[in-house]
Amino acid sequence: MSFINYSQKEINCKIVYYGPGLCGKTTNLQYIYNKTSPETKGKLISLSTETDRTLFFDFLPLALGEIRGFRTRFHLYTVPGQVFYDASRKLILKGVDGVVFVADSQLERMEANMESLENLSVNLAEQGYDFNKVPTVMQYNKRDLPNAVSIEEMRKSLNRRGIPEYQAVAPNGVGVFDTLKSVAKLVLTELRKGG
């Protein structure tokens, strides 16, 4: 649910990066943080464990520029991917405007991808959202790894809905901004419809 402030001339939208543990959600945010100019971004906040696993969420505020005189700000969040943090994931989905599903391309993580996607759909429904209507983008991450599953295979398992999809190698930034732009566009388009 976006927040429009007429007085300050601002639109604020919330994007959540979802996906199984260690798929690269935090890495996406870190890359975006490192590659954006200081005046467009806020602090990257990571609530993580001592071993750098996300405990609650990562948060990065980003200003994209103006649209019809309104400053557009996107608040990017990640969820903790590990299965047992489900209660936290539900909380972070509250008020979401757009979702990036980060899938791990490695063969041995395919089951975890599917489980996480199913979990996303269930958790969205619990918040009153229909997964098929929430602006969502699919990112196939870790494409550089030798054990990466073919795109066709990933599409068949994870993207039957036919949402926009991007291949990525998040630590090098491949596909990271394409994914972000795509979900931002979907969210703004939804806003236009009055969603």
Partner 1 sequence: MAAQLVMYEDEFTKINAICDRLAKDANAKVVFLVDKNGQLISASGHTQQIDTTSLASLTAGNVAAMGGLAKLIGENEFPNQFHEGAKDSLYMTIVATRIVLVVIFDNRTSLGLVRLRIKKASDELGRILESMNRRNSRPEIGSPFAEISDEDIDNLFSE
Contact set with partner 1 (CB under 8 A) = 1-8, 11-12, 14, 42-43, 45, 47, 56-57, 59, 61, 64-65, 67-68, 72, 75, 77, 87-88, 90-92, 94-95, 127-129, 181, 184-185, 188-189, 191-195
Residue closer to partner 1 by CB (options 97, 104) is 97
Q: How many CA atoms lie within 13 A of 193 on its CB side?
A: 10
Which residues 6+ apart lie within 8 Å of 127 measured at CB? 90, 93, 94, 96
Least separation, in Å, of the C-beta of 11 and partner 1?
Answer: 8
* Nearer CB in complex with partner 1: 88/157: 88
Residue keyed to tokens 């996406």: 28
Helices (H) and strands (E) in the chain, counts: 5, 8
Name the residue nearer to partner 1 (CB basis): 98 or 149: 98
By C-alpha distance, which of 171, 113, 117 is closest to 142?
171
Joined together, the tokens standing for residue 139 give 């990112």
Of 4 and 83, nearer to partner 1 (C-beta) is: 4
CB of 60 to partner 1, least distance (A): 9
- For 102, what's the count of Cα atoms within 13 Å in the CB-facing half-sphere? 31
Closest separation between CB of residue 14 and partner 1, Å?
6
Inter-residue contact 135 to 98 (CB < 8 Å): yes
Half-sphere exposure of 19 (CA within 13 A, CB side): 27
| C-beta closer to partner 1: residue 61 or 173 | 61
Q: How far is the CB of 57 from partner 1 (least distance, A)?
A: 6
Q: What is the nearest approach in angstroms of partner 1 to the Cβ of residue 84? A: 14
CA distance linking residue 180 with residue 141, whole number of Å: 13
Q: How far is the CB of 103 from partner 1 (least distance, A)?
A: 24
Pick between residue 78 and residue 113 the one whose CB is nearest to partner 1: 78
Q: Are 31 and 17 in contact (CB under 8 A)?
A: no
